[in-house]
Amino acid sequence: MARVAEFGVIPVFRDRDGHLAVQPQMIFPSEADAQRAAQIFAEVLGGAVAFSRMADREAGVTEKGRIIGKYGAMAKAVANPSSNAARAH
pLDDT along the chain (89 residues), means of 10: 92 88 96 98 94 94 95 77 45
The pLDDT, as a whole number, for residue 42 is: 95
Distance CA 74, CA 71 (A): 6
Identify the pLDDT of residue 88: 40
pLDDT at 57: 87
Domain spans, the chain: 4-79
